[in-house]
Amino acid sequence: MPARSALLALAAAAQACPASAVTLDARRTLSRAEARRVYDGFARRGHIGGRDASGGYGGPAVEALLSMAAFADAESCVEFGCGQAKLANLVLAEHPSLRWSAVDQSPEMVALARAAMRPHGRRFAVALTGGEPEAAAVPQRVDRFVSTYVLDLLSERDMRGLLGRGRAHSRT
């Protein structure tokens, strides 16, 4: 099974399975307010690792996403939790006809994303949200729905909701 199909199958399985039927883990997740404070801190001081999607911090995970997402075939993408928009910048630089909409719950990250993405003009838009999956401004249909380094911050319920939302609006 191609990797992209496997990811879609995983999202479908997560959506089809009632949240009460399976518990992925019993980990403590950050509240939305805690996550916002953490990411505002990253924006002000930089990530402890000093890198993100454009460097070693993104590494193999981002490379795998880029190879599977087939952005060349896409017209639109929605990103949940864009941070400084490093992923969007990488992708939009390679795909000049792609439009990218993003949301993030950190005011500091949204400000950095807006500044970094000015050269892409109207092809990039970002909105500040409260961090809830329902806030991802997904149009009726979108070619790609991505979220990197965010799922681990969500509760299991929110994780399932986000994956289901992305799948429900995906054209593929």
User: What is the spatial order of strands in the sheet that 144-146 belongs to?
Assistant: 124-128, 99-104, 76-80, 144-146
Q: What is the domain partition of the chain in residue ranges? A: 29-169
pLDDT tens for 12-44 read 555 555 544 455 556 677 777 777 787 777 777
Q: What is the pLDDT of residue 162?
A: 85
Tell me the CATH class for 29-169: alpha beta
pLDDT in tens, the chain (172 residues): 454 554 555 455 555 555 444 555 566 777 777 777 877 777 777 655 444 444 444 677 788 888 888 999 999 999 999 999 999 999 999 999 999 999 998 999 999 999 999 999 999 999 998 866 666 656 667 899 888 878 777 888 888 888 888 887 777 6
- What does the pLDDT read at residue 21? 47
Residue pair 147/162 in contact by the 8 Å Cβ criterion: yes
**Per-residue confidence (pLDDT) for residue 169, from 0 to 100:** 75
The full length of the chain comes to 172
C-alpha distance from residue 160 to each of 120, 149, 166 (Å):
32, 15, 10
Calpha distance 100→103 (Å, rounded) = 10
Q: Mean pLDDT of all residues in the chain?
A: 77
The predicted pLDDT at position 142 comes to 87
Give the residue from 114, 65, 60, 110 showing the smallest Cα distance to 87: 65
The pLDDT assigned to 53 comes to 44
- The pLDDT assigned to 75 comes to 95
